[in-house]
Amino acid sequence: MKRRDFLLASGSVLPALAITRAMAESGHVHHNQGEPTAHERDPQGYTPVHTPNGWTLPHRMVDGVKEFHLVAEEIEHEFAPGSKAKCWGYNGTSPGPTLEAVEGDKVRILVTNRLPEHTSIHWHGLILPSGMDGVSGLTQPAIQPGETFAYEFTLQQHGTHMYHPHADEMVQLAMGMMGMFIIHPKAGEPEPVDRDYAILLHNWAMHPGTSRPDPAVMQEFDLWTMNSKVFPAIDTLVAGSGERVRIRVGNLSMWNHPIHLHGVQFQVTGGDGGRWPREQWRNEVTEIIGVGQMRDIEFVGVPGDWAFHCHMSHHTMNPMGHDLPNTLGVDQSGIEDEIRTLLPGYMAMGEHGMGEHQDHTDSGHMTGPPNTLPMMMGKGPFGNIEMGGMFTVVKVRDGLAAGDFRDPGWYQHPAGTVAQRISGNPDYGQPARRGRLANPASKDLPVPKRQGHQH
Ligand SMILES: [Cu+2]
């Protein structure tokens, strides 16, 4: 007996019964022979969302109402090993836990305030009574420290949505208060997904040596995060070859983020207004997620390790000093000695680019102020990845079990499919070239290094 039939026969899971019946009535159940789809596998009638580095808030049923309980509170948050901060979040984490429900559900969301100041929660994108919209002062009194408020409404839509405070908003968002609110369509999905990921984009001003984000900063942030983590601490997104994958991305940062995925043309299948009709889907490789927006992208997994990142290059390389002087091409050997009389251990860098930063960090020469991350941290099978912010890897593998989200390790490339060195001579070949070389003498090139940093 298939699991779905068992659930139907036992009648023990009434919501599943209702949803499955709705699916049947709308003609979406067409896999009765053979393997059930992932969509049918789940007793709730949908593929649960997986929040990398995050979690989904359990609910309880109270008189037919799905009841969730969020607690706004100060938390200790780690962006990546080496950088911890006192942030504000929900139920112990930033982002807060993902809320997940089905179109048509009656929900009650209790919100307890354990912050040192008042708060409220706005249900971003939801259609609801004005008084449940969560704008303190406008639609409700603010929730004072120690108080618990109840929000209650019926979900009239489906799609990717968010929640965040609408009280002292600049401070409370800058401190990390936000979460995703995912509503699955009641009638199932014409093209169900096998894996469903949810990622919230954010930015933080963590000044070197400090332990709380600075809410006053408007543009010059130094931590760019997916689900409040920076690479390489962001979980990899795992999928099986041929599986249909959805990544839901929301943006509550202060910048727009052009989110780029390698290896496939994805389809943008939904936005602030839920899942779009099939005719509106479009193929892209980069999709701008505007501030306050949500976008769903979907693709079929192709084997490999594929970068998934914001395309604003500073947003992929974290604690950049944005006011650094440009030292490209500057011989700093003299000034290094002079500065060392004032700052022992100072190392001049940047003459040949910033890539050597990682080598200095690895060798222990460049330790930042306390509680700061090096600019670029990730290690790959071929060397430094030189990323450190809104960057992670989509790892697609053959033969992964459904629901297995464990990191499968680095991709084993089939023989002959990796770019390789064919010469070490800078004057190799006769490449077409226009214009004049600034530095034609190949002997002036820095000595190539393969692994680590030699002294
Ligand atoms: Cu960005």
- In the prediction, which pLDDT does 10 show? 38
- Return the CATH number at 151: 2.60.40.420
Q: Using one digit for the tens of pLDDT, what is the confidence trace for 193-208?
A: 999 999 999 999 988 8
Task: State the distance from the centre of ligand 1 to the C-alpha of 391, rounded, in angstroms.
Answer: 10
Domain for residue 26, yes or no? yes
Confidence of residue 30 (pLDDT cuts 50, 70, 90): very low
**Domain shared by 149 and 64, yes or no:** yes
Distance CA 274, CA 295 (A): 9
Task: State the distance from the centre of ligand 1 to the C-alpha of 315, rounded, in angstroms.
Answer: 5
Out of 165, 184, 203, a domain closes at 184
324-333 contacts at long range (C-beta below 8 A, 24 or more positions apart): 324/350, 326/350, 327/351, 328/352, 328/353
Distance CA 122, CA 295 (A): 19
> By percentage, how much of the chain surpasses pLDDT 90?
64
Q: How far is C-alpha 261 from the geometric centre of its chain's CA atoms?
A: 12
Q: Using one digit for the tens of pLDDT, what is the confidence trace for 201-259?
A: 999 998 888 899 999 998 889 899 999 999 999 999 999 999 999 999 999 999 999 99
Task: State the distance from the centre of ligand 1 to the C-alpha of 361, rounded, in angstroms.
Answer: 24
Task: State the distance from the centre of ligand 1 to the C-alpha of 425, rounded, in angstroms.
Answer: 37
Count up the domains in the chain and report the number: 2
Strands (E), 356-435: 379-380, 383-384, 391-397
In terms of Cα–Cα distance, which of 106, 97, 119 is closest to 49?
Answer: 97
What does DSSP assign to residue 414? P
**Domain shared by 110 and 23, yes or no:** no
In terms of Cα–Cα distance, which of 108, 124, 81 is closest to 290?
Answer: 124
Task: State the distance from the centre of ligand 1 to the C-alpha of 257, rounded, in angstroms.
Answer: 4
Residue 422: pLDDT above 80?
yes
Q: How far is C-alpha 262 from the geometric centre of its chain's CA atoms?
A: 16
**Domain shared by 21 and 127, yes or no:** no
**Domain shared by 177 and 100, yes or no:** yes
Domain for residue 152, yes or no? yes
Residue 435: pLDDT above 60?
yes
Highest mean pLDDT among 376-385, 388-397, 445-454: 388-397
Task: State the distance from the centre of ligand 1 to the C-alpha of 125, rounded, in angstroms.
Answer: 22
Confidence of residue 150 (pLDDT cuts 50, 70, 90): very high
Task: State the distance from the centre of ligand 1 to the C-alpha of 208, rounded, in angstroms.
Answer: 21
Domain range for 74 is: 60-184
Q: Using one digit for the tens of pLDDT, what is the confidence trace for 275-298?
A: 999 999 999 999 999 999 999 999
Residue 347: pLDDT above 50?
yes
Task: Please state at what angle helix 14-25 crosses helix 3-10, rounded to 10 degrees.
Answer: 110
**Domain shared by 21 and 67, yes or no:** no
Q: Answer whether 0.75 is exceeded by the pTM.
A: yes
- In the prediction, which pLDDT does 17 show? 35
Confidence of residue 2 (pLDDT cuts 50, 70, 90): very low
Q: Using one digit for the tens of pLDDT, what is the confidence trace for 36-58?
A: 444 444 556 789 999 999 999 99
Domain for residue 392, yes or no? no
**What is the rounded average pLDDT of the residues 402-421?**
95
Domain for residue 165, yes or no? yes
**Domain shared by 21 and 131, yes or no:** no
Task: State the distance from the centre of ligand 1 to the C-alpha of 402, rounded, in angstroms.
Answer: 31
Q: Residue 210: how many CB atoms within 10 A of its CB?
A: 15
**What is the rounded average pLDDT of the residues 328-356?**
71
**Domain shared by 88 and 10, yes or no:** no
What does DSSP assign to residue 309? E
Query: Which residues, in sequence order, are CB contacts of 77 under 8 Å at separation 6+?
Result: 84, 85, 86, 87, 89, 93, 94, 176, 228
What is the four-CA torsion angle of 45, 50, 51, 52, rounded to 10 degrees? 180
Task: State the distance from the centre of ligand 1 to the C-alpha of 200, rounded, in angstroms.
Answer: 12
- In the prediction, which pLDDT does 39 show? 44
Task: State the distance from the centre of ligand 1 to the C-alpha of 152, rounded, in angstroms.
Answer: 35
Confidence of residue 6 (pLDDT cuts 50, 70, 90): very low
**Domain shared by 74 and 144, yes or no:** yes
Would you state the structure tokens that stand for residue 398, as one six-digit string? 């053959």
**Domain shared by 120 and 157, yes or no:** yes
Residue 128: pLDDT above 60?
yes
Task: State the distance from the centre of ligand 1 to the C-alpha of 201, rounded, in angstroms.
Answer: 8
**What is the rounded average pLDDT of the residues 70-89?**
95
Q: In 33-68, which positions are buried (b, 16+ CB within 10 angstroms) versus exposed (e)? A: eeebbbbbbbbbbbbebbbbbbebbebeeeeeebbb
Task: State the distance from the centre of ligand 1 to the C-alpha of 319, rounded, in angstroms.
Answer: 14
Q: In 148-172, which positions are buried (b, 16+ CB within 10 angstroms) versus exposed (e)? A: ebebebebeebbbbbbbbbbbbebb
Q: Using one digit for the tens of pLDDT, what is the confidence trace for 373-384?
A: 766 678 899 998
Confidence of residue 83 (pLDDT cuts 50, 70, 90): confident
The residue with tokens 């930015």 is 203
